[in-house]
Structure 1
């Protein structure tokens, strides 16, 4: 559906200030300390790179860092309905709104072939299992101040207002999302939500599982698809990532 989706599919195949008047002096120190408390600072790209899931965190997956081209393509993603842009960004490995830092990776579930593919039939089964494997795009976006709460709220609102679908354009390619429905509930982080996003791309029906988790001032998005057409919610990837966020 998007450049990041195509990349995942290929990977799956491969395997204030204080009171100025100075009144109530006795309480001034406490009041000043409270009003002068700095706003939360978001993590940088480098800091997020240190907490995003790696191969060691997901032994049953093939983990590969997202490319600069994929990040650039996500930045160009647009929608014919402005209210739906947060969903487009979440599925394109791009931050929702202005983030202080971003990190991206991809994780593909390894096929459970039950043994070595040493016969033609076994090799064919291994290939078909790989084609049907869940491929998940993981994006961490961290924000200053209340940015993370605002990004999460935008995604929550979009899930309702865009339930009937919307158009997507990214990197010169277009697709039509036909439905956004609630996914299997997720309990993680400070708040979480899940959607099943159905789309039509060049006649192909694609069902994507989108999970969003906010932990403090960082928002993690997980967009899972499968070449078989129906993806499963990437619970193992979500659990491993949330654990690393603390």
Structure 2
């Protein structure tokens, strides 16, 4: 993996949701007819949506609902404090309709609320290199050691029908921003060239998913996937990056179903 291409590809294409320090450490080492099968938007409407008098949970309560270490097998849980934007003020888009998409990709509340919390989950990829003597470590062992699958999770809570409005803003933004948009996050500018509906997880009261193609200077483009789920008056967003696949294929990993299932199980 090259430091210059790997770090820049991850840092820019991931909409600056990752810190340059983390990325540098990592890099040191179809047609409409097939849309249903490849990239299909879906939302499961539910009559059990949040009541109009619903009250939002404070940030402290949302933090308790985030997945903790040991609650999802095979993943290490981190705070995300050093890798995610601290607030919406750090994320700007050139099109207002696209802001909810950028927020969802950054672990921030896609709707109008001050109540939000986020963290990160890293797949615990046990490497064969750790059990071998230095002279016995193969190139394949080294490549596997740096396969880091990182998922950012954001939770936000809303008053009244705010959660439904937040979810709708994301769903509507997929079509409104299909031609792309520009985003500036944590001082980094990036051009999203395409937004497309993706296969939703079919969880919670409503769920939707989308992919974005992100232009990378001198590196072509990379594709990223995001899932957003509403459960009652709480909205959960999931965004996954696989550093190894980014530098080799230009495409990120899919959002792990185990993380989505475990997280939603904690939201009542």
Contact 1:75 1:94 in 2 (8 A): no
- In terms of mean alpha carbon deviation, does 210-219 or 64-73 score higher? 64-73
Distance 1:174 1:200 in 2: 11
Distance 1:98 1:53 in 2: 23
- In terms of mean alpha carbon deviation, does 53-62 or 209-218 score higher? 53-62
Match for 2:233 among 217, 220, 226?
A: 217
Distance 1:99 1:43 in 2: 10
- Name which one, 1 or 2, has greater alpha-carbon Rg: 1
Counterparts in 2 of 1:127 and 1:55: CA distance versus 1, 3 Å? farther
Task: Tell me how far 1:104 sits from its aligned partner.
Answer: 0.6
Distance 1:237 1:8 in 2: 25
What residue is the counterpart of 1:150 in the other structure?
165
What residue is the counterpart of 1:105 in the other structure?
119
Task: Tell me how far 1:146 sits from its aligned partner.
Answer: 0.7
- In terms of mean alpha carbon deviation, does 62-71 or 47-56 score higher? 62-71
Contact 1:76 1:171 in 2 (8 A): yes
**How many residue pairs align between the two structures?**
224
Task: Tell me how far 1:119 sits from its aligned partner.
Answer: 4.1
Distance 2:87 2:141 in 1: 31
Match for 2:155 among 131, 137, 140?
A: 140
Question: What 5-or-longer segments of structure 1 have no aligned partner?
Answer: 15-36
Counterparts in 2 of 1:64 and 1:111: CA distance versus 1, 3 Å? same
Query: Please, what TM-score do these two structures have when normalized by structure 1?
Result: 0.81
What residue is the counterpart of 1:33 in the other structure?
none
Query: Please, what TM-score do these two structures have when normalized by structure 2?
Result: 0.74
**Residues 6-45 of structure 1: matches in 2 within 5 Å?**
6=19, 10=23, 13=26, 39-45=53-59
Contact 2:85 2:91 in 1 (8 A): no
SS of 1:5's equivalent in the other structure is coil
Query: For each residue in 1:142-198, what CA deviation from the matched residue of structure 2 results, as whole angstroms up to 9, or x when unmatched?
Result: 011111000000000001111121111112111111121222231111010111222
Match for 1:118 among 132, 149, 157?
A: 132
Question: What 5-or-longer segments of structure 2 have no aligned partner?
Answer: 1-11, 28-50
Contact 1:207 1:225 in 2 (8 A): no
Match for 2:97 among 62, 65, 83?
A: 83
What residue is the counterpart of 2:106 in the other structure?
92
SS of 1:129's equivalent in the other structure is helix
Contact 2:88 2:108 in 1 (8 A): yes
Query: Aligned-residue CA RMSD in angstroms?
Result: 2.7
**Residues 42-53 of structure 1: matches in 2 within 5 Å?**
42-53=56-67
